[in-house]
């Protein structure tokens, strides 16, 4: 086992503030559960800004709009525990820089991706050493970006992309127990955010790409608590897992609109029971992929605007 012996770590589960019975008269009833206020195809607003870290050759900061329930809970606090969380992450790009002398020759740009959750990013504390899920995310991000970067223009060079996640998405509503549909759904939203942010940072570092690659998420959710089996799940874009009772399957894509191509696809869960509109003869997974692509198109609009801003800033400085 890899134990972190160099630091004095806090308790792995975190500590919780004292909650007095008098505050609990309402309990945690179903009304406290976060509810999706958006239309099925409506995306959350994205805040994206480049060039915030001056020492890096490119950087970006991305934030998703907090859900309506979180805003309501902040305005009128009932509980100390926030009902949902919104993604916040910072991305830095270092390079292109020469590879170390000891490295083997490479005719292409060597891409290295690091994704790390800050210890305080999720409700469960993360350690200082990257765990399996963080490494897995790193591989996904690398696949997404390598397809977009024109790597043969930088032989013998390396590019390091480091992402720190300051606040992660929840995998489910904090109050519900893990059930048969539990999986790390929040990771997929995190990956989509990472792709969009990394793409902005790469553009900020002036590295040639085929297109700005944007990430998008779509999911099949069934919200009716009574019986999940009778009601067919619906397709929703940009799902916040805290707002849904059960997510049956989800898909994240990295998409380049100019070429209509997908550089990274990650789909999991049972997509066979999707209820689509009449006359729609797509299969469940095709509808999911198309939905995720639509979400990515939305993110691409924000991305293009952020990159334009960064360019205007550089031109202004020169």
Partner 1 sequence: MSNQRQASSASQVPHLSPAELSYLYSSLSLPKTPIRPDGRSPTQFRPLTAETNILPGTNGSARIGFADGTQAIVGVKAEVEKTVLANETLARNDGGAGLDRGEQEGSAAVGGHGSWVQMSIEIPGFRDDDALPVFLSEMMRESLVGAVGTREASDMAGGLKERLVINKRWHWRLYIDVLLLSQPLAYPLPLLSLTTHLALLSTKLPKRKSQGEEDPFFDDDWAVAEYLYPRPSLSSGKTNSTGSSFVRPPVTLLVISVGENIIFDPNREEIAVADAVLAISITRDSEAGTLKLLSIRTVDPPSRLTQPGVPNSENVSMLGAVAPTEDVAVLNPATGEEEVPGVWRPRRGGVKRSVIAEMVKTALKKGGVGEEVLEGLEGVEVS
Q: Which residues lie near partner 1 (CB under 8 A)?
A: 2, 13, 16, 19, 21, 24, 27-29, 99-100, 102-104, 106-108, 110-112, 132-133, 135-136, 138-140, 142-143, 146-148, 150-152, 158, 174-183, 210, 254-256, 259-272, 285-286, 289-290, 293
| Smallest separation (angstroms) from partner 1 to the CB of 80 | 12
Name the residue nearer to partner 1 (CB basis): 19 or 312. 19
110-117 vs 88-98, strand pairing mode: unpaired
**53 within 8 A of 92, measured Cβ to Cβ:** yes
The least distance separating partner 1 from the CB of residue 174, rounded to whole angstroms, comes to 6
Strands 110-117 and 214-222, by their bridges, are unpaired
Residue among 51 and 289 whose Cβ is closer to partner 1: 289
CB of 63 or CB of 218, closer to partner 1: 218
Q: State which residue, 58 or 138, has the beta carbon closest to partner 1.
A: 138
Cα angle 31, 183, 73 (rounded to 5 degrees) comes to 25
Which of 209, 220, 244 shows the shortest CA–CA distance to 93?
209
Closer residue to partner 1 (CB): 15 or 39 = 15
- What are the Cα distances from residue 151, in Å, to 101, 157, 255? 20, 9, 18
What's the CA dihedral at 188, 139, 255, 261 to 10 degrees? -140
Query: Residue 60 CB, nearest distance to partner 1 (Å)?
Result: 21
> Can you read off the two tokens belonging to residue 199?
């793409």
Smallest distance from partner 1 to CB 265, Å: 5
Min CB(245)–partner 1 separation in Å? 11
Contact 252, 217 (CB under 8 A): yes
């Amino acid at each position: 086992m890899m134990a972190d012996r160099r630091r004095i770590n806090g308790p792995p589960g975190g500590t919780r503030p004292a909650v007095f019975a008098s505050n609990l008269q309402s309990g945690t009833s179903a009304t406290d559960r976060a509810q999706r206020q958006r239309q099925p195809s409506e995306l959350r607003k994205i805040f994206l800004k480049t060039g915030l870290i001056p020492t890096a050759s490119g950087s970006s900061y991305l934030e998703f709009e907090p859900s309506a329930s979180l805003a309501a809970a902040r305005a009128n606090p009932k509980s100390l525990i926030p009902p949902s969380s919104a993604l916040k992450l910072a991305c830095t790009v270092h390079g292109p820089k020469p590879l170390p002398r000891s490295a083997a020759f490479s005719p292409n740009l060597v891409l290295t991706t690091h994704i790390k959750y800050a210890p305080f990013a999720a409700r469960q504390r993360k350690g200082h050493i990257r765990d399996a899920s963080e490494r897995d995310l790193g591989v996904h991000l690398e696949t997404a970006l390598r397809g977009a970067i024109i790597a043969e223009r930088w032989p013998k060079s390396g590019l390091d992309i480091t992402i720190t996640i300051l606040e992660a998405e929840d995998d489910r509503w904090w109050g519900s127990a893990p059930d048969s549909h539990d999986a790390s759904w929040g990771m997929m939203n995190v990956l989509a955010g990472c792709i969009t942010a990394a793409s902005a940072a790469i553009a900020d570092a002036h590295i040639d790409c085929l297109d700005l690659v944007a990430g998008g998420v779509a999911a099949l959710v069934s919200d009716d608590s009574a019986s999940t089996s009778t009601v067919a799940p619906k397709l929703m874009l940009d799902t916040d897992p805290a707002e849904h009772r059960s997510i049956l399957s989800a898909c994240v894509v990295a998409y380049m609109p100019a070429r209509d191509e997908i550089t990274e696809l990650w789909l999991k869960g049972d997509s066979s029971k999707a209820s689509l509109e009449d006359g729609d003869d797509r299969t469940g997974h095709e509808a999911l992929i198309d939905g995720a692509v639509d979400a990515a198109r939305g993110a691409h609009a924000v991305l293009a605007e952020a990159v334009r801003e960064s360019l205007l800033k550089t031109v202004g400085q020169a």
